[in-house]
Structure 1
Amino acid sequence: MERTEYRVHIFADFWNYTLSVQRHRAGFSTDWKKLPKVLTREAGQLIDPTAMAVYSGMNVYGSYNAETETRLKNWASSVLDVFPGVNAKFIPRTRKKGPPLCPSCHAPAHKCVGCGADMRGTEEKGIDTRLATDLVSLAWQDAFDVAVLISSDQDFVPAAELLQAKGLKVIHAAVPPSGWHLKQKCWGSIDLTQHVNDFEFHKKSRTP
């Protein structure tokens, strides 16, 4: 019996996506209300143009610097997370255990010689694990038929292969040529550069 409907769930690696799309088009701003609609539409076209593709939700995973990126944290929780079907999971980045090393003598540089600030950078911990865990967990709960994975990280290859072994379809969405290895392991792919005009955010002009 032919299917007449496919439930599409989107999993977005926020920083991986944001940095890659801005390399493609400097200053690009995403309309996060439009993005899942565009991806659901394109996933449906790839799988079966005669069937209905239904948006079942979007999980967005990201991190922020607790000292300097409070606006990002607030936007994720008070704006992004309240969009229809969106579940935003943003966590603070942690300090690296060790400081950077001098490229010449390899001595650790603990503090800036100019201002005395801590030279240790921050790093993202646990984002990939959360995304992969939710991808598999929601699949096992029969929450979707098609997963659209927005990332170029090949660490998601095992999760994509596991879902497809279960009979689900995973579609890779990225800015080429990033994520070539992950794309190979997915059922299909969406070239985001072909659709950026459909989900670009435009500020509304004020009426004088």
Structure 2
Amino acid sequence: MKEKDFCLEIDQKGVDMKIELDIASLAYKKQVDQIVLISGDSDFVSAAKLARREGIDFILDPLGAPIKPDLFEHIDGLRTCDKSYTTNTCK
């Protein structure tokens, strides 16, 4: 067998919805004070709004990617980390 015989199959169906459900569950149950979402995807606007309505600080880390304006208006803070997963440098 050679490396070309292997391929990575990633099934991402419904991942955003599952993350949003987790955020809603954590917020409604008051299990957290702060959520840090590592994404810049505007699909999470509803989750950010819900968390903030429930009194949760919603922090966004887009890993240097541009943030959609409709998501930016619904966050409490912005955090940026180095894209390298081997370092732990955050600002």
Fold conserved between structures, TM > 0.5: yes
Higher relative contact order (CA 8 A, sep 6+): 1
Match of 2:59 in 1: 171
Gaps of 5+ in 2: 1-5
Give the CA deviation at 1:128: 0.3
Structure 1 counterpart SS, 2:72: helix
Match of 1:184 in 2: 73
- For residues 9-65 of structure 1, give each alpha carbon's deviation from its aligned partner in whole angstroms, at most 9, with x where no partner exists: xxxxxxxxxxxxxxxxxxxxxxxxxxxxxxxxxxxxxxxxxxxxxxxxxxxxxxxxx
Counterparts of residues 110-149 of structure 1 (less than 5 Å): 124-149=12-37
Give the counterpart letter for 2:81 in structure 1.
L
Give the CA deviation at 1:69: 2.4
The aligned length equals 82
Match of 2:3 in 1: none
Cα separation, 2, equivalents of 1:141 and 1:178: 31
Give the CA deviation at 1:143: 1.3
* CA RMSD, 1 decimal: 2.6
Cα separation, 1, equivalents of 2:48 and 2:65: 19
Higher Cα Rg, which structure? 1
Contact 2:40 2:62 in 1 (8 A): yes
Cα separation, 1, equivalents of 2:72 and 2:84: 18
Give the CA deviation at 1:195: 8.8
Give the CA deviation at 1:186: 0.4
Give the CA deviation at 1:153: 0.7
Percent of aligned pairs with the same residue? Answer: 28
Q: Which segments of structure 1 move beyond 6 Å, counting only runs of 4 or more?
A: none
- For residues 175-206 of structure 1, give each alpha carbon's deviation from its aligned partner in whole angstroms, at most 9, with x where no partner exists: 2342243233200010123997326xxxxxxx
Task: Give the alignment's TM-score, normalised by structure 1.
Answer: 0.35
- Aligned with residue 7 of structure 2, among 48, 51, 68: 68
Task: Give the alignment's TM-score, normalised by structure 2.
Answer: 0.73
Cα separation, 2, equivalents of 1:125 and 1:155: 14
Give the CA deviation at 1:150: 0.6
Cα separation, 2, equivalents of 1:174 and 1:186: 12
Cα separation, 2, equivalents of 1:140 and 1:130: 15
C-alpha spacing 1:69/1:194, structure 2 compared with 1 (3 Å): closer
